[in-house]
């Protein structure tokens, strides 16, 4: 149970939550100007849920069923809060932040494995 694991889970969940938010017209409008293009809703939702499931799976894989669920729940909560704040105050940053979260998650992996 290390900070690296938590950051990894939070980063994956953030990317997922951001994709879910962008699959909604209201948020897509402020973050990327204009409604969600047709045919983009399903892929965004799929990516979104994948991010959340991966975040949960990573927590279980790295920390087991004892602490894993607690870690994942905390990380997903923090990620959702981050997405909501980003959409409210800096909507333009949401997509870049979500894309940056993926390499961040990858960078955390060796540290999470080593801990």
Partner 1 sequence: MSEAKRFRPAMAWLHTWAGLVVGWVLFAVFVTGTASYYKDDISRWMRPELRETVIDPAQSATAAAGFLAKQAPDSGGWLVMLPKPDQPLTEVYWWKSFAGPFHHALLDPVTGTPTGARDTQAGEFLYRFHFELALPPLVGRWIVGACAMVLLIALISGIVTHRRIFADFFTFRPDRSRQRAWLDAHNLFGVLALPFHLMITYTGLMTLGPMLMPWGLQAAYKDEAPHFYVEAGLMPKGRMPAGTAAEGLPLGEIVRIAGKDGGELPEALMVSSPGDAAATVSAVFEEPHGLAHLHPQIAYDAVTGAELARNLPAGPATRTATVMYGLHEAHFAPHALRVLFFLCGLLGAATVASGLVLWTVARAPKGAAPEGFGLRLVRILNVGTIAGLPAGIAAFFLANRLLPLDLAGRASWEVGLFFGAWVGVALAGALAPRRLAWPLTLGLAAATFVAIVPADLALIGEPRFVPFDIAMLLVGALLIVAARTAARPPSALARRAATRVAEA
The residues binding partner 1 (CB under 8 A) are: 1-3, 6-7, 17, 20-21, 24, 26-27, 30, 33, 66-67, 70-71, 73-75, 77-78, 80-81, 83-85, 87-88
The end-to-end CA distance of the chain, in Å, is 8
Nearer to partner 1, 1 or 57 (CB): 1
Nearer to partner 1, 44 or 75 (CB): 75
The minimum distance between CB 91 and partner 1, in angstroms, equals 9
The minimum distance between CB 85 and partner 1, in angstroms, equals 8
- Report the alpha-carbon distance of residue 75 to residue 92 in Å, rounded: 23
Nearer to partner 1, 38 or 88 (CB): 88
The minimum distance between CB 77 and partner 1, in angstroms, equals 5
Nearer to partner 1, 27 or 54 (CB): 27
The minimum distance between CB 36 and partner 1, in angstroms, equals 13
- Report the alpha-carbon distance of residue 24 to residue 91 in Å, rounded: 13
- Report the alpha-carbon distance of residue 96 to residue 14 in Å, rounded: 12
Residues 6+ apart with CB under 8 A from 115: 2, 4, 5
Least Cα distance to 52 among 94, 80, 92, 89 occurs for: 80
């Amino acid at each position: 149970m290390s900070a690296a694991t938590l950051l990894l889970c939070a980063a994956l969940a953030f990317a997922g939550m951001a994709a879910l938010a962008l699959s909604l017209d209201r948020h897509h409008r402020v973050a990327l100007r204009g409604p969600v293009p047709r045919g983009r809703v399903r892929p965004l939702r799929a990516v979104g849920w994948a991010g959340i499931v991966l975040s949960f799976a990573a927590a279980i894989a790295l920390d087991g069923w004892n602490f894993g669920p607690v870690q994942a729940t905390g990380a997903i909560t923090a990620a959702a809060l981050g997405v909501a704040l980003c959409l409210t105050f800096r909507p333009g940053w949401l997509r870049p932040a979500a894309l940056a979260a993926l390499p961040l998650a990858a960078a955390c992996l060796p540290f999470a494995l080593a801990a």
